[in-house]
A = this chain, B = another copy of it.
């Protein structure tokens, strides 16, 4: 299991490359909920999401063990993270992406110097393709969450947040974290449980893909099959990770879930009140507060705003439908 020492060792390797993202607050929001709400804004992170944290952690670890290249499959933020980390550490990256991935995401990944392998989403398995390439090239496959170094790297988000609370002498009562495979919440929970054992940690998911919520209720990894699609495309993992789930089962209070409509309303609020443009997946934690999924009255609350990679037209559409 990953521990606080792993987080610190990882942070030592990667902090120079990270943006120490700011923590935002608003008198209006605090007044509305009679709470102290702190938003840590990973929209400002290198590559536009927290995923670079884990990627830098994993690749720097591999590099120090003589590895010269990696393979990953992702159409989204993990692809940006791995390709950027590979560029930073002068490694080769081969990224398997669906042919119909947004053009700008393919371009950005290429722009980071990665080699792109495209596949037909409905015909081929990206995992099989990636595994075959990894075997042929003798490169490790870097998975988006089920990897100790990834979890330790995402934990840097939690370390920075804890430092903020320690420096300002504030006791955090609640942490709300967007959750897909569970890497961010697992890493973050390790930091919080070390510095603030009483903090309650809640993973937040889309209502139609709430596998972590259900798995925590069942106390065992539970798969959601054929879930109804959600605008939170980065959170559509259907079963919690093998490595992340035991950590989250130990550290998290329970799961929360929000509807797409609630996510759009949160995106709009964040944009109007904070001038921050979040992607849908980046806004589920704030949505949980705004839609009263949790009582935060008189609490100190950390909210993860996990990323902002959504194209302008889609963003406008989501805001308009709020």
User: CB within 8 Å of B: which residues of A?
Assistant: 16, 19-25, 27-28, 31, 41, 43-44, 46, 48, 84, 87, 108, 111-112, 168, 271-272, 274-277, 308-309, 312, 316, 319
Contact = CB atoms under 8 A, between A and B. Distances in A.
Nearest to A84: B27
B48 A111 contact: no
A154 to B, nearest CB: 18
Given A22-B21, A275-B277, A277-B275, A112 B168 contact: no
Contacts of A275: 43, 48, 277, 308-309
Given A20-B22, A21-B22, A43-B275, 8 more contacts: A16-B168, A19-B24, A22-B22, A24-B46, A28-B108, A41-B44, A44-B274, A276-B277
**Identical copies of this chain, number:** 2
Question: Of A20, A168, A275, which is in contact with the most chain B CB atoms at under 10 Å from its CB?
Answer: A275
Contacts of A168: 16
Question: Of A31, A41, A277, which is in contact with the most chain B CB atoms at under 10 Å from its CB?
Answer: A277
B28 A19 contact: no
A307 to B, nearest CB: 8
B312 A27 contact: no
